[in-house]
Structure 1
Amino acid sequence: MQTSIIGTILPVLNVGLDAGEVLLSETGELSWKSPNVSLRTGIAAGGAGGFLGAVKRSLGGGGLFMTEYVAEGGPGFVAIAAKVPGHIEEHAVQPGRSYLVHRHGFLCGTQGISLSVVLQRSLGAGIFGGNGFLLQQVSGQGRFWVELGGEIVSHTLAAGEQIDVHPGHVGMFEDSVNFEITMLPGLRNKLFGGDGFFLARLTGPGRIWLQTLTLPNLAHALSPYLGGGAVAGAETGAAAGLAGQFIRKVFE
């Protein structure tokens, strides 16, 4: 399997498959492919282990179904494009280890990769964490690719080292990293600061990947251009229409 990541702020992952090789992704990820690559969609892929496993996976933000891309009769290729401005990164996972990825972060993986919902480690994380804590767990053995928004800031936490992060900026972290919810200090900060009530506290040891762009922030930045009433000028109206289509696509 040969891979390349093409582009900058809206990259595309190009995967070259040898005959018989398989690439696994959630449904709806395909951008383009060679004609000899066939698609097999089902619930058992990605280590689901049947219908209940697929339901559990979907609770983590993924889909009930997953798609396998198989090169038949010779080499082929599959391309998967990013959905938001950001970066695509490749990682490898080994048996006994796993990564936790934000709910829309998993892009695709090789055979042997298992995708499921992570069990929340604290009640607060499940109730107050927001979308940033509906996490997917990538385990098994093989290579996988993730899509993170904006720029990626990675850091290796030493044992006991901590960092407080807005939940939406948590992109991915190793399973050795512990996370919990901590409340933002100060009543005025909570009510008027605009940063919400809670932060994610990540505690080492382990590596973390933070993303600078969150979907709510992107939606907020574009909202003035969506328009709620009459729009002056055809050019402005066209721009608002395109922005609206982009927002709807992001949140599909």
Structure 2
Amino acid sequence: MQAEIKGSTMPVLEVQLGAGEYVVTPHGELSWMSANVQMSQTMSGGAPGGGGGGFMGAMKRVLGGGSLFVTQYTAQGGPGLVAFASKVPGHIVPVDIAPGRSVMVHRHGWLAGTPGITPTVGFQQSFRGGMWGGDGFVLQKLEGQGRAWVELSGELTTYTLGPGQTMLVHPGHVGMFDQSVQFTLTRVPGIANKVFGGDGFFLVALTGPGQIWLQSMPLPNLAHSLAPYLPASGAENAEAAGVGGLIGGMLR
């Protein structure tokens, strides 16, 4: 199996599969593939022999923001190609997972993985109202053995934190971090804003050692900034309808 990330602003993950090799995705986010690649769905999470936890593993995946099934793409009868395009401007980051080396990823970050990658719920905190729509702050944990590709939105900034070194981060900007990084969700009292509604202002304290990946364009912030350009009820004018259709397609 060989993988290449193509493009810049809207990158594409292109995977070359040998005969019988396969790659898994959380939501079936296919962009294109060769005719001999077969799609199927499974609860196993991609681990060889169904070692991804079966039904209980699938339920943990759902709690982590994923779907009950993962989609598997297998090359049959010879080499095959499958590609997955990013949904919004940003980056696709490869990360190697091994026993004792897992990562925490934002809710919609996991794009694809090799067999053996197991996604489960990592953390979930609900917020009332605001731009989070009740979903709150959700992290997936990617563990197992293999390579995962993670989609991060906007520009990407990485830091390597030393032991005890802490970075305070807006939850939407948390893209991914090593399992060795400790995290706590801290409420700033007396401050309320449009992001969290009546729950006040929250920051994530990330404490090293380990690497963190921060994204510049949280999707809730993007949706909120585009809201004034979307028609409130129907297509009120041609320009608003055009913008709404374009943005709606990007966010789906």
Q: Give TM-score, length-normalised by structure 1.
A: 0.87
Paired amino acid for 1:139: E
Aligned equivalent of 2:186:
182
Q: Which structure 2 residue ranges, 5 or more long, are not aligned?
A: none
Asked whether the equivalents of residues 87 and 147 of structure 1 are also in contact (C-alpha less than 8 Å), the reply is: yes
Asked whether the equivalents of residues 119 and 143 of structure 2 are also in contact (C-alpha less than 8 Å), the reply is: yes
More helix by share: 1
Asked whether the equivalents of residues 126 and 137 of structure 2 are also in contact (C-alpha less than 8 Å), the reply is: no
Asked whether the equivalents of residues 171 and 204 of structure 2 are also in contact (C-alpha less than 8 Å), the reply is: yes
Aligned equivalent of 2:125:
126
Q: Give the whole-Å Cα distance in 2 for the aligned partners of 1:164 and 1:144.
A: 26
Cα shift at 1:18:
0.8
Residue deviations 1:103-133 (CA, integer Å, cap 9, x gap): 1000111112111112x4xxxx634597573
Aligned equivalent of 1:149:
153
Q: Give the whole-Å Cα distance in 2 for the aligned partners of 1:19 and 1:194.
A: 48
Cα shift at 1:240:
3.2
Q: Give TM-score, length-normalised by structure 2.
A: 0.87
Aligned equivalent of 2:172:
168
Pairs within 5 Å for 1:83-162? 83-118=87-122, 120=123, 126-127=125-126, 133-162=137-166
Q: Give the whole-Å Cα distance in 2 for the aligned partners of 1:58 and 1:231.
A: 35
CA RMSD in angstroms, aligned pairs only = 2.2
Cα shift at 1:192:
5.7
Aligned equivalent of 1:69:
73
Which structure 1 residue ranges, 4+ long, deviate > 4 Å from structure 2? Answer: 127-132, 192-196, 229-233
Q: Give the whole-Å Cα distance in 1 for the aligned partners of 2:66 and 2:25.
A: 10
Aligned equivalent of 2:2:
2
Q: Give the whole-Å Cα distance in 2 for the aligned partners of 1:66 and 1:162.
A: 35
Pairs within 5 Å for 1:21-60? 21-46=21-46, 47-60=51-64
Asked whether the equivalents of residues 48 and 116 of structure 1 are also in contact (C-alpha less than 8 Å), the reply is: no
Cα shift at 1:152:
0.9
Asked whether the equivalents of residues 230 and 240 of structure 2 are also in contact (C-alpha less than 8 Å), the reply is: no
Cα shift at 1:45:
2.7
Cα shift at 1:96:
1.9
Residue deviations 1:185-240 (CA, integer Å, cap 9, x gap): 5x2xx036967421100110110001111111110121111122586753443333
Cα shift at 1:62:
0.7
Q: Give the whole-Å Cα distance in 1 for the aligned partners of 2:67 and 2:250.
A: 21
Asked whether the equivalents of residues 103 and 132 of structure 1 are also in contact (C-alpha less than 8 Å), the reply is: no
Paired amino acid for 1:220: H
Paired amino acid for 1:97: R
Residue deviations 1:17-68 (CA, integer Å, cap 9, x gap): 0111110111331111001111120112335322122011110001100011
Asked whether the equivalents of residues 177 and 204 of structure 1 are also in contact (C-alpha less than 8 Å), the reply is: yes
Q: Give the whole-Å Cα distance in 2 for the aligned partners of 1:228 and 1:193.
A: 19
Paired amino acid for 1:105: G
Cα shift at 1:246:
3.5
Alignment size in residue pairs: 240
Q: Which structure 1 residue ranges, 5 or more long, are not aligned?
A: none
Structure 1 residues 229 and 60: alpha-carbon distance in aligned structure 2, compared to 1, 3 A threshold: closer
- Percent identity of the aligned residues? 52
Structure 1 residues 24 and 227: alpha-carbon distance in aligned structure 2, compared to 1, 3 A threshold: same
Q: Give the whole-Å Cα distance in 2 for the aligned partners of 1:184 and 1:85.
A: 30
Q: Give the whole-Å Cα distance in 1 for the aligned partners of 2:244 and 2:20.
A: 45
Q: Which of 195, 202, 216 is the matching residue for 1:198?
A: 202
Cα shift at 1:156:
0.5
Paired amino acid for 1:203: T
